[in-house]
């Protein structure tokens, strides 16, 4: 990772403080909040006064002197970087940076699309659990956020240099599987899968389609809510499935296969992919060893026939409800599969970090699973975290629904966003003369950008109100606005090229370009903050500000009228770097840019 200017300056100032026998850390330099007085400032002299170093103004002056004279290494570096230093009462040190240094730094950053962000972190494995779709249920608006946020995080962590493994963690092992088996048995009792004496093999062809499953599931689930007997049968079927009854396993595999095919279509539309398509069922081989260890270490106890992990404080008071591992009938639960999956991720896959990008309404569940994991000592080698998110609400402030009050399917939501994109594109007369297939491609990309940016721009733990019309605007903090800005810069560069104005080396940064250059140089710090907080809204904010900054630069600076060719080439290069960073940043959010619109 390339050091930032702040880091370089802090190092120089730190050495100067050290030469006065003051702590190195006091040299911390930050961007100035008064750009008229300086580009950067160091406030260490005031902090030094608190440590008993005396009058801060005098200290600040001594630091400036040290920079010039007695800290030779620092002074040398300082000469390259610093244009002008000022001491201001009570003891601020303001400085302007050399403008050629700024251009130089940006050139270095822009050598690769990593913009100085990437590190070699390939020994650090980060597993990201997101998506979490359920077999036989089509995805709805509730699956939108986990897909969008999880995907952005996997891209950003990978970009930063981590070894990332994402896993869809299919919901394929709970009672809904027993309900499906029961539901199908009612409809087609003669299927070979229900014949207890048949030992296999079973047909390759699935006896059901996804449409069948989507009918059977809600119906059975409805019965189970009111009918004790139906619920009992579903429970029994689930248990038999978990215990390995061959016909049920074969049937289950068909359910999974037909569901995954549809899920892949929906994720494909969103441009979201996973390294692993494992499910809760894959935790099965780890359940027994896990339970054995929990019993052996006396972490779990028997309670009314069930196996549970109680969570108690020193006084023996329960601090939260216990984690139920095995019900009295022997069936395992959602928490059991999650703990067993974590067991696999930590012990076998050796993941140092495991992130769960899952709805905030599951906080209690993860608290219990993680507390049990801590008791097993998983936290000795690994960090696991519920990187949760808030709810997508309708304008009434309640979870978003269709007009008729039903659950909004993800597929339908994407179609709605596409319709809105087509409408807005036509209204703004964008690409009216483009070929039809390009128009369709643009509408699709704009729609995805709309949904993703609207979601990611909010700090993930907050709820937000779904307002498609607002999200689809070409003005304001929206996906379409950013796509338009990228296309605009691309068009500027194309037009320049057409008259032989090409990009060249970056020259000295004048006042017109300073704000834009500083903004571009912020990128690595923004990526780090995003990684640290698992919060892509920091990146969204940066990209929006960058796009705005470009607009004001472009207004001030008439690139095509610039008589000095070398300077014109430098300004075009700056525009190009800006375009590349916007494009890279959007790609990290899972948003594809457009060449033109
Ligand atoms: N399938 C679950 C649901 O729909 C989400 C799974 C989240 N991931 C996890 N490891 N629990 O609620």
Q: What is the mean pLDDT of residues 564-573?
A: 96
Ligand 1 pocket residue status of 409, Cβ below 6 Å:
no
Residue nearest to ligand 1 atom 8, measured at CA: 132
Would you say 341 and 171 are in contact if contact means Cβ atoms under 8 Å apart? Answer: no
The pLDDT tens digits of the residues spanning 157-216 come to 999 999 999 999 999 988 899 999 999 999 999 999 999 999 879 999 999 999 999 999
Residue nearest to ligand 1 atom 5, measured at CA: 132
pLDDT at 63: 93
pLDDT at 453: 98
Gap from CA of 411 to ligand 1 centroid (Å): 19
Gap from CA of 245 to ligand 1 centroid (Å): 25
Ligand 1 pocket residue status of 356, Cβ below 6 Å:
yes
Residue nearest to ligand 1 atom 6, measured at CA: 132
The CATH fold of domain 5-97: Gyrase A; domain 2 (3.30.1360)
Q: What are phi and psi of 465, to 5 degrees?
A: -100, 130
Gap from CA of 380 to ligand 1 centroid (Å): 25
Gap from CA of 301 to ligand 1 centroid (Å): 26
Residue nearest to ligand 1 atom 2, measured at CA: 132
Q: Which residue has the tokens 């081989």?
A: 285
Q: What are phi and psi of 385, to 5 degrees?
A: -150, 140
- Tell which atom from ligand 1 comes closest to the C-alpha of 358: 7
Ligand 1 pocket residue status of 134, Cβ below 6 Å:
yes
Can you tell me whether residue 287 is helix, strand or coil?
A: helix
The pLDDT tens digits of the residues spanning 374-408 come to 999 999 999 999 999 999 999 999 889 888 888 88
Gap from CA of 238 to ligand 1 centroid (Å): 18
Q: Which two tokens stand for residue 262?
A: 């549809």
Closest CA to 323 of 384, 376, 386, 365: 365
Spatial separation of the C-alpha atoms in residues 131 and 116, rounded to whole Å: 30
pLDDT at 71: 53
pLDDT at 77: 66
Please confirm whether the linkage preceding 90 is cis (ω < 30° from 0).
yes
Q: Inform me whether the pLDDT recorded for 73 exceeds 80.
A: no
Ligand 1 pocket residue status of 458, Cβ below 6 Å:
no
Domains 5-97 and 412-588 share a fold: no
Ligand 1 pocket residue status of 171, Cβ below 6 Å:
yes
Gap from CA of 279 to ligand 1 centroid (Å): 10
DSSP 206-266: -S--HHHHHHHHHHHHHHHHH-HHHHHHHHHHHHHHHTT-HHHHHHHHHHHHHHHHHHHHH
Residue 74 pLDDT grade (very low, low, confident, very high; cuts 50, 70, 90)? low
Gap from CA of 491 to ligand 1 centroid (Å): 44
Spatial separation of the C-alpha atoms in residues 524 and 588, rounded to whole Å: 13
Q: Which two tokens stand for residue 26?
A: 């006091």
Gap from CA of 358 to ligand 1 centroid (Å): 7
Spatial separation of the C-alpha atoms in residues 499 and 392, rounded to whole Å: 48
pLDDT at 1: 80
Q: How far is CA 411 from CA 131, 145, 371, 407, in A?
A: 15, 14, 37, 12
Question: Which H or E run contains 415?
Answer: helix 410-427
Gap from CA of 390 to ligand 1 centroid (Å): 15
Residue 593 pLDDT grade (very low, low, confident, very high; cuts 50, 70, 90)? very high
Gap from CA of 169 to ligand 1 centroid (Å): 7
Cβ atoms within 10 Å, residue 334:
16
pLDDT at 199: 82
Q: What angle do CA 421, 113, 597 make, to 5 degrees?
A: 25
Write the secondary structure of 340-382 as one string of H (helix), E (strand) and C (coil). Answer: HHHHHHHHHCCCCEEEECCEHHHHHHHHHHHHHHHHCCHHHCC
Ligand 1 pocket residue status of 358, Cβ below 6 Å:
yes
User: Ligand 1, from 169, 391, 410: best to mutate by most atoms within 8 Å of Cβ?
Assistant: 169
Q: What is the mean pLDDT of residues 497-515?
A: 92
Closest CA to 496 of 573, 555, 430, 596: 573
Exposure string (b/e) for 293-331, b if CB count within 10 Å is 16 or more?
Answer: ebeeeeebeeeeebbbbebeeeeeeeeeebbbbbbeeeb
Ligand 1 pocket residue status of 143, Cβ below 6 Å:
no
Domain 412-588 grouped into CATH 1.10.730.10: yes
DSSP 72-110: HHHHHHHHHHEEEEEEETTTEEEEEE-HHHHHHHHHHHT
Closest CA to 340 of 278, 275, 284: 284
Residue 257 pLDDT grade (very low, low, confident, very high; cuts 50, 70, 90)? very high
pLDDT at 481: 98
Closest CA to 401 of 18, 140, 35, 29: 140
Residue nearest to ligand 1 atom 10, measured at CA: 338
Ligand 1 pocket residue status of 167, Cβ below 6 Å:
no
Of 85-89, 534-538, 574-578, which range is least confident? Answer: 85-89
Radius of gyration, alpha carbons of the chain? 29
Gap from CA of 136 to ligand 1 centroid (Å): 14
The pLDDT tens digits of the residues spanning 267-300 come to 999 999 999 999 999 999 999 999 999 999 999 9
Average pLDDT, the chain: 94
pLDDT at 70: 57
Ligand 1 pocket residue status of 169, Cβ below 6 Å:
yes
Spatial separation of the C-alpha atoms in residues 93 and 78, rounded to whole Å: 14
- Tell which atom from ligand 1 comes closest to the C-alpha of 171: 1
Ligand 1 pocket residue status of 132, Cβ below 6 Å:
yes
Enumerate the domain spans of the chain.
5-97, 175-270, 412-588
Would you say 539 and 589 are in contact if contact means Cβ atoms under 8 Å apart? Answer: yes
* % of the chain with per-residue pLDDT over 90: 85
Gap from CA of 146 to ligand 1 centroid (Å): 10
Q: What angle do CA 342, 344, 346 make, to 5 degrees?
A: 65
- Tell which atom from ligand 1 comes closest to the C-alpha of 334: 11
Beta pairing partners, 257: none
pLDDT at 407: 85
Spatial separation of the C-alpha atoms in residues 207 and 562, rounded to whole Å: 71
Q: Inform me whether the pLDDT recorded for 422 exceeds 90.
A: yes
Please confirm whether the linkage preceding 287 is cis (ω < 30° from 0).
no
- Tell which atom from ligand 1 comes closest to the C-alpha of 146: 7
Q: Inform me whether the pLDDT recorded for 69 exceeds 80.
A: no
The pLDDT tens digits of the residues spanning 76-120 come to 666 788 999 999 999 999 999 999 999 999 999 999 888 999 999
User: Ligand 1, from 129, 132, 282: best to mutate by most atoms within 8 Å of Cβ?
Assistant: 132
């Amino acid at each position: 990772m390339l050091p930032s200017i702040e880091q370089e300056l802090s190092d120089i100032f730190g050495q100067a403080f050290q030469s006065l026998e003051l702590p190195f850390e006091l040299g911390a330099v930050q961007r100035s909040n008064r750009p008229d007085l300086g580009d950067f400032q160091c406030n260490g002299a005031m902090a030094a006064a608190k440590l008993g170093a005396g009058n801060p103004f005098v200290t600040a002056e001594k630091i400036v002197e040290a920079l010039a004279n007695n800290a030779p290494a620092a002074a040398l570096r300082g000469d390259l970087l610093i244009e002008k230093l000022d001491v201001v009462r009570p003891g601020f040190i303001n400085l302007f940076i050399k403008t050629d240094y700024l251009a130089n730094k940006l050139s270095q950053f822009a050598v690769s699309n990593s913009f100085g962000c990437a590190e070699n972190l390939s020994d650090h494995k980060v597993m990201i659990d997101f998506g979490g779709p359920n077999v036989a249920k089509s995805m709805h608006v509730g699956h939108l956020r986990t897909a969008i946020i999880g995907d952005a995080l996997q891209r950003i962590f990978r970009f930063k240099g981590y070894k990332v493994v994402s896993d869809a963690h299919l919901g394929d092992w709970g009672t809904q599987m027993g309900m499906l088996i029961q539901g199908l048995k009612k409809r087609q009792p003669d299927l070979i899968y229900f014949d207890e004496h048949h030992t296999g093999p079973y047909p390759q062809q699935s006896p059901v389609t996804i449409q069948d499953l989507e009918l059977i599931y809600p119906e059975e689930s409805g019965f189970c809510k009111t009918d004790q007997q139906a619920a009992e049968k579903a429970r029994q079927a689930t248990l038999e499935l978990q215990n390995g009854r061959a016909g049920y396993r074969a049937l289950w595999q068909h359910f999974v296969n037909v569901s995954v095919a549809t899920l892949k279509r929906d994720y494909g539309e969103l441009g979201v992919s996973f390294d692993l398509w494992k499910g809760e069922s894959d935790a099965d081989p780890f359940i027994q060893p896990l339970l054995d260890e929990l019993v052996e270490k006396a972490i779990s106890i028997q309670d009314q026939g069930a196996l549970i992990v109680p969570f108690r404080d020193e006084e023996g008071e329960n601090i939260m409800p216990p984690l139920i591992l095995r019900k009295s009938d022997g069936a395992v639960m959602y928490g059991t599969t999650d703990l067993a999956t974590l067991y696999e991720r930590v012990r076998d896959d050796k993941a140092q970090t495991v992130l769960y990008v899952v709805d905030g309404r599951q906080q209690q569940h993860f608290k219990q699973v993680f507390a049990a994991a801590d008791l097993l000592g998983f936290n000795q080698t690994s960090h696991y975290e519920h990187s949760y998110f808030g709810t997508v609400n309708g304008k009434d402030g309640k979870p978003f629904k269709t007009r008729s009050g039903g659950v909004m399917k993800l597929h339908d939501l994407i179609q709605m966003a596409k319709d809105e994109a087509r409408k807005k594109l036509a209204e703004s007369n964008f690409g009216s003369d483009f070929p039809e297939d390009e128009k369709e491609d643009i509408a699709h990309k704009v729609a995805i950008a709309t949904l993703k940016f609207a979601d990611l721009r909010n700090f993930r733990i907050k709820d937000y109100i779904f307002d498609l019309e607002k999200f689809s605007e070409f003005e304001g903090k929206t996906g379409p606005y950013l796509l338009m800005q990228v296309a605009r810069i691309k068009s500027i560069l194309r037009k320049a090229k057409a008259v032989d104005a090409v990009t060249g080396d970056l020259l000295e940064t004048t006042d017109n370009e300073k704000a834009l250059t500083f903004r571009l140089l912020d990128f690595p710090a923004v990526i780090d903050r995003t990684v640290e907080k698992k919060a892509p809204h920091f990146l969204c904010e940066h990209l929006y500000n960058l796009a705005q900054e470009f607009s004001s630069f472009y207004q001030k600076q008439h690139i095509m009228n610039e008589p000095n060719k070398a300077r014109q080439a430098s300004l075009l290069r700056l525009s190009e770097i800006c375009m590349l960073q916007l494009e890279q940043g959007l790609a990290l959010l899972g948003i594809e840019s457009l060449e033109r619109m």
